[in-house]
Amino acid sequence: MILTLATEAASSTQRFADFEVPAAAWWALLIGIVFLLLLDLLLVHRKPHEISFREAIIESAVWITLGLAFGLVILFWQGGQAAGEYYAGYLIEKSLSIDNVFVWAVILSYFSVPKMYQFRVLFWGVFGALVLRALFIFAGVALIERFDWVLYLFGAFLLYSAWKLAAHRDAEIHPEENPVLKLVRRVVPSTNDYHGQAMFIREKGKLLATPLFAVLVLIEATDVVFAVDSVPAILAVSREPFLVFASNAFAIMGLRALYFALAGMKDRFRYLDLGLAAILAFVGVKMLIADFYHMPIPLSLGVIFGVLTIAIWTSLAADKRQPPKADEHGLPVDPVSEDVASIQPPPPEDRVDEREPDHS
């Protein structure tokens, strides 16, 4: 219904939505985002606990509903053109973020982060991602407005990213080889023990970082890589910073719940990377031909939604024909555990210390 309203209303001949956004609208958006995040952190997840699949599905549904509902606000405020661009950006970011979820799964498994503490580190990871995306978005829009040729650079980069994603979709992820992680371990005094949800503790008068801090830094570093793909992709369907940031924010805020729902299902979506590569290639071509042909937003929405649907449907169909691998006892193999099997585990002394950290 929402997409139908947006596409039916998108009758404007403008190439992209262009409207003045009052400061009050920006403040309302930012205050709303902060309120939702604090509500999630201080009320819904006030006490650390292991998030069940059912809880994750319910929370994902709530976040998706909020994201779609904000599109209705855009529809009634600025019309169908703006709403269509918002939904296209939201769908692109949500689609590309699924791959980010599986990278999180590998990182958290590598560091053996207790499940009850995973939400807290992902919360701060998402908060940092919102700040980074805002910087990327305003920088990208400013570059496009100042230098027209940047469009071709972004388009070519998206085509390269699409090829790389399709050609290396089976490549393994090795967190221990990340240069950012190596730098953190070299520069920041750290302990190998987990101390509840604390990222820093004071031990014998010395401030030490716990493994959760290293996890957070690595998550933020990987998000920079994903932002390099997703922000140019969204700029192919909208140039209005308010729409681009809002679509990014509402898609990203629901990633934590999506992680707990999908983290162990990577092998069941075997064709998802090909679908995401096709989406990146599509928006790359769209950006390259923008000076010659402006693709209508309803068509862009249809292509992106169609590609994502086909990728998921074919993956699930293939999964039924060829179920996930089983171990010698006939039990299904956890795909995340299998992914990290070749990665050197943390030192054996890494363990969870449930004692209250000394913050004196």
In angstroms, the CA 147 to CA 59 distance is 41
Measured N-to-C along each axis, helices 80-110 and 297-321 cross at an angle, to the nearest 10 degrees, of 30
Bigger pLDDT: 204 or 89?
89
Segment 13-36 mean pLDDT: 87
Residue 207 located in a structural domain: no
Check pLDDT > 50 for residue 230: yes
The string of DSSP codes covering 288-345 is HTTTT----HHHHHHHHHHHHHHHHHHHHHHHHHSPPPB-TTSPBPPHHHHHTTTSPP
Q: How far is CA 112 from the centre of its chain?
A: 21
Bigger pLDDT: 3 or 202?
202
Segment 59-81 mean pLDDT: 93
Residue 202 located in a structural domain: no
State the pLDDT at residue 170. 62
In angstroms, the CA 43 to CA 201 distance is 25
Segment 122-145 mean pLDDT: 84
- State pLDDT tens for residues 305-340: 788 888 888 887 887 777 655 544 444 454 444 444
C-beta neighbour count of 123 within 10 angstroms: 18
In angstroms, the CA 129 to CA 250 distance is 12
The answer to whether 18 touches 240, Cβ cutoff 8 Å, is yes
Residue 334 located in a structural domain: yes
* Residues paired with residue 194 on neighbouring β-strands, in sequence order: 352
What letter does residue 237 receive in the DSSP assignment? T
Residue 198 located in a structural domain: no
State the pLDDT at residue 104. 79
* Residues paired with residue 209 on neighbouring β-strands, in sequence order: 190, 200
Check pLDDT > 90 for residue 30: yes
Segment 60-79 mean pLDDT: 93
Check pLDDT > 50 for residue 350: no
Residue 44 located in a structural domain: yes
Segment 153-161 mean pLDDT: 79
Q: Tell me how many degrees the CA angle 279-284-289 measures, rounded to the nearest 5.
A: 130
State the pLDDT at residue 7. 47
Tally the domains of the chain: 1
Percent of the chain residues past pLDDT 90, beyond the cut: 14
For the entire predicted model, the pTM comes to: 0.71
pLDDT band at residue 27, thresholds of 50, 70 and 90?
very high
C-beta neighbour count of 171 within 10 angstroms: 9
| Domain range for 176 | 2-188+213-351
Residue 300 located in a structural domain: yes
Check pLDDT > 60 for residue 113: yes
Bigger pLDDT: 276 or 76?
76
State the pLDDT at residue 98. 77
**Quick check: helix, strand or coil at residue 201?**
strand
State the pLDDT at residue 87. 93
State the pLDDT at residue 333. 52
Check pLDDT > 60 for residue 37: yes
